[in-house]
Amino acid sequence: MARPRGTDASGTTTRTRILAAAMRQIAERGYAGMRLADVAVDAGVSLGLVQHYFGTRTGLLQAAFEAGTEVNLRKAREIADGSGPPGDRLAALVKWGCADIDAADGSWEFWFEFWLAALREPELSLKNRAGDAGWQQAFRTVLTDGIADGSFHPGGTPEQIAAKLVTLLDGTMLRRMLGSQGADDDLDWAVAQFVRPAATSS
């Protein structure tokens, strides 16, 4: 049986392969240093094929950031909407948020390059805000469930605590990237201070 047009033997689409290569190149060379020619070599396709799918370098960069965001948010939503206890889902979200996932899904090097670019480019800034809102929504879902069943007793609304947790995770990963001493120390304890699980509340 013939495979669908634009896929390789593993079933991966050419577009997906190019996007994964772009993410790796951004993580390795930086946003400013990524070149279409390097992406083509990494993906094992011609430069013309990269241009066929994405047109310009800017088009590829924006598509790579969109794809990386979707991968991460899809997993976050899957965790948040799961059937486990809120405490387990919260722990899983924190673990996923701090995971050293590979560049095909968006390494932390890739995301920090994205944030730097978003400081200067309005379109990327909007995409970053949308991604951040998606992460906060995942945490809000778990927090709301935990408050409803008595698992959590936070000192604020789900919206306020979700924003704090996302900020905490982003800051932790920045310090880890920079090699700061104790970057991961007591992360679970810090999360618990915001959420105040029922077992530790007074």
Q: Does residue 6 lie within any of the structural domains?
A: no
Separation between Cα atoms, residue 77 and residue 190, nearest integer Å: 23
Separation between Cα atoms, residue 117 and residue 125, nearest integer Å: 8
Q: Taking a C-beta distance cutoff of 8 angstroms, is the pair 161, 138 a contact?
A: no
Q: Into how many domains does the chain fold?
A: 1
**Residue 130 token pair:** 């949308």
What does the angle CA 151 – CA 155 – CA 156 come to, to the nearest 5 degrees? 100
Q: What is the pLDDT of residue 199?
A: 60
CATH number reported for the structural domain that contains residue 95 in this entry: 1.10.357.10
Prediction pTM value: 0.82
Separation between Cα atoms, residue 103 and residue 42, nearest integer Å: 12
The residue segments making up the domain with residue 140 are 14-195
Q: What is the pLDDT of residue 2?
A: 36
Separation between Cα atoms, residue 34 and residue 45, nearest integer Å: 16
Q: Mean pLDDT of successive 10-residue segments in the chain (202 residues)?
A: 41 86 90 93 96 92 89 92 94 85 59 88 88 95 96 94 93 83 78 80 42
Q: Does residue 102 lie within any of the structural domains?
A: yes
Separation between Cα atoms, residue 43 and residue 18, nearest integer Å: 5
DSSP the chain: -PPPTTB-TTS-BHHHHHHHHHHHHHHHH-TTT--HHHHHHHHTS-HHHHHHHH-SHHHHHHHHHHHHHHHHHHHHHHHHTSSS-HHHHHHHHHHHHT----TTT--HHHHHHHHHHHTT-HHHHHHHHHHHHHHHHHHHHHHHHHHHTTSB--SS-HHHHHHHHHHHHHHHHHHHHTT-TTTTTTHHHHHHHHH-BTTT--
Q: Does residue 3 lie within any of the structural domains?
A: no
Q: What is the pLDDT of residue 110?
A: 86
Q: What is the pLDDT of residue 136?
A: 96
Cα R_g (the chain), whole angstroms: 19
Q: Does residue 8 lie within any of the structural domains?
A: no
